Structure 1
Amino acid sequence: MDNNKIGSKPHFQILDGLRGVAAIVVVFFHLAEPLSSNHLDNIVNHGYLAVDFFFLLSGYVIGYAYDDRWDKFTFGGFLRRRFERLQPLVVLGMTLGAIGFYFTDSTIWPLIHTVPVWKLFVVMLIGYTILPIPLSMDIRGWQEMHPLNSVGWSLFFEYIANILYAAGLRKLSNKALACFVVLAAAVLLHFALTNPNGDVTGGWTLNAEHMRAGLTRTVFPFFAGLLLSRVTRPRYIKNAFLWCSLLVAAVLLMPRIGGAEHPWINGLYEALCIIIVFPLIIYFGASGVVHGQTEAKICKFLGDISYPLYMTHYVLVYFYVAWISNNKGITLCQAWPYALLTFGGTIVLAYASLKLYDEPVRAWLRKKLK
């Protein structure tokens, strides 16, 4: 923690930094994905688990920030605050995705050149609401609920978790919440072990299979984070940012386990990471103390760009994926300069989005929605 205040509470700088570390791994995961032959050999194999980490971190921070302040908040007031924080970059991501849509036409997305402008416009407007589009409105061909900005699906489930929390689950006693979290963990473990893919991926398509995956991936980590914020008290841990960052990277960069023959082994690994390892990382991160101005600046920078990076990076990744698909057989050695250039572009875009758009818009919304 540091001595900066949010209201009357200390601010967890290290957790901000860890969110940025996870967001960077997500970018690398998406840059490595088109170079893999299947879901078993991505060199950033478990990068998608960053989403589950984000959900747990979100539950922890929201519980810490709001759990004891509901005498000052209404349901609408809480959602208004979440809207101010989340929605501006949802709108920006969808807008940038629409602007670049026709320029990413390639063999991997056969529908793009057939999409009329009015349909693109309608999909963009629906995307602004973060509500999922039906499969009949798919304009890219990947069966995504947000084809203009692929990562939008996780924000849809983030809102669901926030609504469930504000609508009533926040009122659960610690014992009742613990029972709920244990049940959600059992559901997550069963899903991970029985999923034919041997992982917890899913949630981006509006159908029963993906809705189950999305809810399973959201409910346990979010409410486990909430429980963690209630029942633990941070202690003093040295070098927490360094060790937690390395642990986050190690979990997300871990190669596939079990192969095609024993997919349940990989599912077990992922379930244990979400149920045990991620809560420990959050606890250690919350217990850590920032050492010196350099580490403080790194944590602040990573925390500041984490959400803008997550919400805008896929706009550039679409161009990168189109280039890969239009150059069949390209190798990692050939692709890495373009991947590195794309990565640099995502950092610049994220920072520009933060300073030129997100911060000014959020300040304006705070004044308008008081």
Structure 2
Amino acid sequence: MPSTPLPTKPHYPILDGLRGVAALMVVAFHLCEAHATSHLDQVINHGYLAVDFFFLLSGFVIGYAYDDRWGRLTVGGFFTRRLVRLQPMVVLGMLIGAGLYYFQAGSLFPAIATTPGWLVLLVLLLGCLMVPVPPALDIRGWHETYPLNGPGWSLFFEYVANVLYATVVRRFSNVALAGLVVLSAGALLHLAVTSPQGDVIGGWSLEPEQLHIGFARMMYPFFAGLLLFRLARLRSIANAFGWSSLLVVGVLAMPRIGSPAHPWQNGLYDALSILLVFPGIIFLGASGAVRSAPAQRLCRFLGDISYPIYITHYPLIYTYTAWVAAHKVPLRDGWPVAALVFLAAVAIAYACLKWYDEPVRAWLKKKVLVDGAILPSKH
């Protein structure tokens, strides 16, 4: 019997725009990373924190989209909607990664030259199903759970967070949720200040240490975002998009904090950014309004491409990084090519959105969502 249709909810346009700003910063971060010799000289040094920002934003938006709907929504219906929203681009990102894989052979990725095609196809299949691969199936050498498209690791943890929310945490009172957030904050703070490298980078491997990092990076921001949605009393704040965008760029572009002898100082920066600054940015963004037509179009465009660019850009980064390593190209010489790759990533993401993601999701909604409900595209 069909379930009761769920009415569409309006977006938070500024949050959509902020997601796009952070996604573009991720692309720039990864391009610059190809030229870095260590975390110490990385340009756009804290771009990796965009993942934690995405988790916090996701928790807020999931709460907004679903918290008041569980009387009409089953757990299975929730999972179906999340799969329809996320999985088509996961599959396309893996296909792009497979298509570019053999173009990345060289000194940086020596395993590629001897990897048989059947193994690439197996890893592709597992990636399309979001099954993380064990080290025995590592076809790149970077110990990634998704070696054809590395950022898939964060989508894996996004799915884990969604499962925890739908099956357990949605029933938590605000007090219980606050307790979970406090405990998760302690785990994240401990990870950040005790990390040998002085940061929270990691989470992309099935190795125990990497799984610890991944869960620590997901638990606090996602459920803090949910708690923020439940407790926040939003206000009308002028110029919220401009200020919140500048804050996102500033946090992610901040140079390395402290000295190599005291890595905990940079770890503390990471922790405070995730624990305090990011919730403040999301509160600011959710409190603002976009009134001018150009600003509305900009936020819509940034929000539309945010997920496609995040999940499709990294195969380009593998290829660019392999080229930089093979020719020992410094950033001062490679920036024109990097700029072209950046523009290509945006163009590919937009093409994927319009020619694949939106049509496929529209078709799946008709075929899979029996109640015909159309949820906000960012949720």
Normalised to the residue count of structure 1, the TM-score between the two structures is 0.97
Please tell me the residue identity of whatever aligns with 1:350: A
Counterparts of 1:89-104 in structure 2, within 5 Å, are 89-104=89-104
Counterparts of 1:76-155 in structure 2, within 5 Å, are 76-155=76-155
Cross-structure match for 1:323: 323
Cα distance in 1 between the residues matched to 2:106 and 2:38 = 19
Cα distance in 1 between the residues matched to 2:118 and 2:310 = 27
Pair 304,8 (structure 1): closer, same or farther in 2 beyond 3 Å: closer
Cross-structure match for 2:269: 269
Cross-structure match for 2:210: 210
Cross-structure match for 1:51: 51
C-alpha deviation, 1:53, in angstroms: 0.1
Q: Residues 4-37 of structure 1, C-alpha deviation per residue, up to 9 Å, x if partnerless?
A: xx93643200000000000000000100001111
C-alpha deviation, 1:233, in angstroms: 2.2
Cα distance in 2 between the residues matched to 1:345 and 1:8 = 33
Please tell me the residue identity of whatever aligns with 2:195: N
C-alpha deviation, 1:206, in angstroms: 0.9
Cross-structure match for 1:31: 31
Look up the SS of the partner of 2:43 in the other structure: coil
Look up the SS of the partner of 1:326 in the other structure: helix
C-alpha deviation, 1:70, in angstroms: 0.2
Cα distance in 2 between the residues matched to 1:105 and 1:45 = 27
Cross-structure match for 1:3: none
Q: Residues 47-89 of structure 1, C-alpha deviation per residue, up to 9 Å, x if partnerless?
A: 0000000000000000011001100111110000000000000
Please tell me the residue identity of whatever aligns with 1:141: G
Cα distance in 2 between the residues matched to 1:142 and 1:64 = 37
Please tell me the residue identity of whatever aligns with 2:222: F
Please tell me the residue identity of whatever aligns with 1:184: S
Cross-structure match for 2:353: 354
C-alpha deviation, 1:151, in angstroms: 0.5
Cα distance in 2 between the residues matched to 1:286 and 1:35 = 36
Cross-structure match for 2:242: 242
Please tell me the residue identity of whatever aligns with 1:342: V
C-alpha deviation, 1:117, in angstroms: 0.6
Please tell me the residue identity of whatever aligns with 2:338: A
Q: Residues 119-161 of structure 1, C-alpha deviation per residue, up to 9 Å, x if partnerless?
A: 0000000001112100000001111110100110000000000
Cα distance in 2 between the residues matched to 1:293 and 1:165 = 36
Look up the SS of the partner of 1:40 in the other structure: helix
Cα distance in 2 between the residues matched to 1:186 and 1:319 = 38
Cα distance in 2 between the residues matched to 1:212 and 1:64 = 28
Cross-structure match for 1:367: 366
Cα distance in 1 between the residues matched to 2:94 and 2:8 = 35
Cα distance in 2 between the residues matched to 1:251 and 1:50 = 9
Aligned structure 1 segments of 4 or more residues deviating by more than 4 angstroms: none
Cα distance in 2 between the residues matched to 1:350 and 1:112 = 26
C-alpha deviation, 1:368, in angstroms: 1.4
Pair 341,8 (structure 1): closer, same or farther in 2 beyond 3 Å: closer
Cα distance in 2 between the residues matched to 1:249 and 1:97 = 28
Cα distance in 1 between the residues matched to 2:315 and 2:9 = 36
Ranges in structure 1 where 5+ consecutive residues have no aligned partner: 1-5
Cross-structure match for 2:162: 162
Question: Share of identical aligned residues, percent?
Answer: 58
Deviates more, 1:310-319 or 1:243-252: 310-319
Cross-structure match for 1:72: 72
Cross-structure match for 2:376: none
Cα distance in 2 between the residues matched to 1:227 and 1:31 = 34
Cross-structure match for 1:199: 199
Task: Check if 1:344 corresponds to 2:308.
Answer: no
C-alpha deviation, 1:318, in angstroms: 1.6
Cα distance in 2 between the residues matched to 1:11 and 1:34 = 36
Normalised to the residue count of structure 2, the TM-score between the two structures is 0.95
Q: Residues 341-365 of structure 1, C-alpha deviation per residue, up to 9 Å, x if partnerless?
A: 0000000000000000000110111
Please tell me the residue identity of whatever aligns with 1:369: V
**Aligned residue-pair number:** 364
Cα distance in 2 between the residues matched to 1:199 and 1:60 = 24
C-alpha deviation, 1:287, in angstroms: 0.3
C-alpha deviation, 1:39, in angstroms: 1.2
C-alpha deviation, 1:208, in angstroms: 0.2
Please tell me the residue identity of whatever aligns with 1:338: V
Q: Residues 297-343 of structure 1, C-alpha deviation per residue, up to 9 Å, x if partnerless?
A: 00000000000000001121122111101112x22110000000000
Which has the bigger relative contact order, CA under 8 A and spacing at least 6? 2
C-alpha deviation, 1:103, in angstroms: 1.0
Please tell me the residue identity of whatever aligns with 1:356: W
Q: Residues 227-277 of structure 1, C-alpha deviation per residue, up to 9 Å, x if partnerless?
A: 000001221000000000000000000000112111000000110000000
Q: Residues 191-250 of structure 1, C-alpha deviation per residue, up to 9 Å, x if partnerless?
A: 101111100111001110000000000000000000000001221000000000000000
Cα distance in 1 between the residues matched to 2:200 and 2:316 = 26
Cα distance in 2 between the residues matched to 1:246 and 1:96 = 32
